[in-house]
Amino acid sequence: MVFRKPPDGGWGWVIVVVSFFTQFLCYGSPLAVGVLYLEWLDAFGEGKGKTAWVGSLANGIGLLASPVCSVCVSSFGARPVAIFSGFMVAGGLMMSSFAPNIYFLYVSYGIVVGLGCGLLYTATVTITCQYFDKRRGLALGLISTGSSVGLFIYAALQRELIELYGLDGCLLIVGALSLNILACGSLMRPLESTSSPPPEKMFVDKVPDQYFVYHEKEKTVEENISILEKGYIDEKCVNNVPDCKQDSILNKNTLSSINVNEKDTYKKKVVEQTNFCKQLAKRKWQLYLTYWKETMVLFKNKVFSALFVAILLFDIGGFPPSLLMEDVARSANISEDDYYMPLISIIGIMTTVGKLILGILADFKWVNTLYLYVTTLLMTGVALFAIPFAKSYLTLAMLSGILGFLTGNWSIFPYVTTKTVGIEKLTHAYGILMFFAGLGNSLGPPIVGWFYDWTQEYNTAFYFSGSCVLLGGFLLLLAALPCWNACTNQSSKLPPNTYSYKVASNA
């Protein structure tokens, strides 16, 4: 498929709208799972660390499977993947309403819903990047606010549905709402080249390998038959010279009968199919080797290597507040009468604001998006260190707003990735980075929950979380420093098709 130049408008704005609603519908419940988390704690009576696995899997499994999701989107396109994933998300949510224990939720809510969300996220980001170039930061910021708006609305919606219909009814209704993803996915029209080659040329380009393989194999079989027949004639001539001419005449008739013999035709087809399968397997193996070679080339870029460490540590430390902040408030003995708004809703609305503002900033030429991303990491680490000192609803609400705003750096992460490795390697590199992000999402909340089960307080857990985020931010800052780039460039050259951040950002 050949893509034309991104239009930066037109149908691209329709893509932005449907991608916004897709992320709103699929991520609303998993991101607001903190409301369900409290209900599952009371319903199943398991520990905080064990119960936190449900929400962490839902938000992490899709990212862990990002390389697979990227391959699916590249192979089948964003529209088929989005429609299929809509069924997964809706089905997983509805199945969760019948969960008899926490282990059932690991599969239905954690794996099924999480994998569907991962496929939808990759589809929406990929197709948006294809439609936008100059306004890519704004477009990515707009679609990524869908998940944040979903967090804000679904936090209050799920709480209200639980009070009216119970936990099971809430999950059934939320699952039914997710079916609207099918309508959004159907509008994700692929951006294809209008100047496609003529049908005859396309057909010739698609079948030459098979065509020549077939005739090459047919020729080989004929030659083998001729050699066998020639050997048979020579042997007869040596043993019985007078019968040589007679055998030659008989052999011509035999050869004619062999050419029309069904048995030989079947053997030809077997040989053809066998050789074709061997060549196909060889091609697949070459593609596999090429994939891993390209992956190794990416990791030779020090900025990319630091980026995957930073995103891993950021998600280990930065994701737990969005899942556990409600329980943090309950553990601090804050009365429900003091609640003006759920803390998760505050995180959601401020994440929306953060994604929009950071996305707009990323479009300014004078803004270095990598340094902007590093700044959000360092500030997030400081905010996590402050959570243990918050003993009132007001201070927790302020910290929730700050953390929510800084979590909006997700809108510029695809932008940073594109500037680091180039648009042609975005799908490959982004899938790898999202794998590590998913690993962090999956491990973060259970680790914080285990710290609480061990110490019966959250202070140690959030000190650990803040340290992880600060470490990731400092490592990425060190890799991006101009002086470090100069020293590295003097000692070694980058491999082919690999871009340092400085070079890519000036392109």
User: What domains are defined for the chain?
Assistant: 1-193 (1.20.1250.20), 301-487 (1.20.1250.20)
- Matching residue, tokens 């800052």: 477
* Residue with token string 């549905």: 161
Q: What percent of the chain has pLDDT over 70?
A: 74
Other beta carbons within 10 Å of 83? 17
Q: Which of 349, 387, 357 is nearest to 375 (CA)?
A: 357
Q: Which of 185, 160, 155 is nearest to 170 (CA)?
A: 160
Distance between CA 148 and CA 130 in Å, rounded?
Answer: 23
* Residue-wise burial string across 208-219, b where 16 or more C-beta atoms lie within 10 A, e elsewhere: eeeeebbeebee
How would residue 92 be classed by pLDDT, with cut points 50, 70 and 90? very high
Q: What is the pLDDT of residue 133?
A: 78
Per-residue pLDDT for 86 more than 90? yes
pLDDT of res. 91: 93
Return d(Cα 442, Cα 52) in angstroms, integer.
9
Phi and psi torsions of 363, nearest 5° = -80, -15
Largest pairwise CA distance in the chain? 116
Question: In whole numbers, what is the pLDDT of the chain averaged over residues?
Answer: 76
Predicted confidence (pLDDT) at residue 204 exceeds the cutoff of 80: no
The rounded distance, in Å, linking the Cα atoms of 489 and 144 is: 35
The token duo for 458 is: 């959250």
- For residue 114 the two structure tokens come to 């999480």
18-32, 112-126, 450-464 — which is least confidently predicted?
A: 450-464
pLDDT band with cut points at 50, 70 and 90 for residue 505: very low
Q: Say which range, 68-72, 482-486, 501-505, has the weakest mean pLDDT.
A: 501-505
Alpha-carbon dihedral of residues 47, 49, 52, 58, nearest 10 degrees? -130
> So what's the pLDDT on residue 19?
92
More confident residue, 402 or 42: 402
pLDDT at residue 319 above 70? yes
Say whether pLDDT at 240 is over 70: no
pLDDT score for 221? 45
Question: How far are the Cα atoms of 74, 75, 81, 215 from residue 202, in angstroms, in the given order?
Answer: 20, 18, 25, 20
Residue with tokens 């590590």: 436
pLDDT band of 507, cuts 50, 70, 90: very low
* Structure tokens given for 125: 């980001």
At 48-80, the pLDDT tens digits run 878 888 888 888 887 777 778 878 887 888 889
- Using CA atoms, how far apart are residues 155 and 202, in angstroms rounded to an integer? 51
Most confident of 261-270, 411-420, 459-468, 482-491: 459-468
Nearest Cα neighbor of 430 from 14, 21, 123, 89 is: 123
Find how far residue 69's CA is from the centre of its chain. Answer: 5
Condensed to tens digits (0 to 9), the pLDDT of residues 433-444 reads: 877 887 887 888
d(CA 417, CA 303): 10
What integer pLDDT is reported at residue 118 of this predicted model?
Answer: 86
Structure-block tokens of residue 129:
């990047």
CA distance between the termini of the chain: 25
Average pLDDT of the segment spanning 377-399: 89
- Chain position carrying tokens 């993947």: 81
Q: Does residue 250 carry a pLDDT above 60? A: no
List % helix, strand, coil for the chain (3-state, nearest 5): 85, 0, 15
Least confident of 32-46, 283-297, 378-392, 434-448: 283-297
Dihedral of CA 367/370/374/380: which sign?
positive
Q: In this predicted structure, what is the pLDDT of residue 261?
A: 58
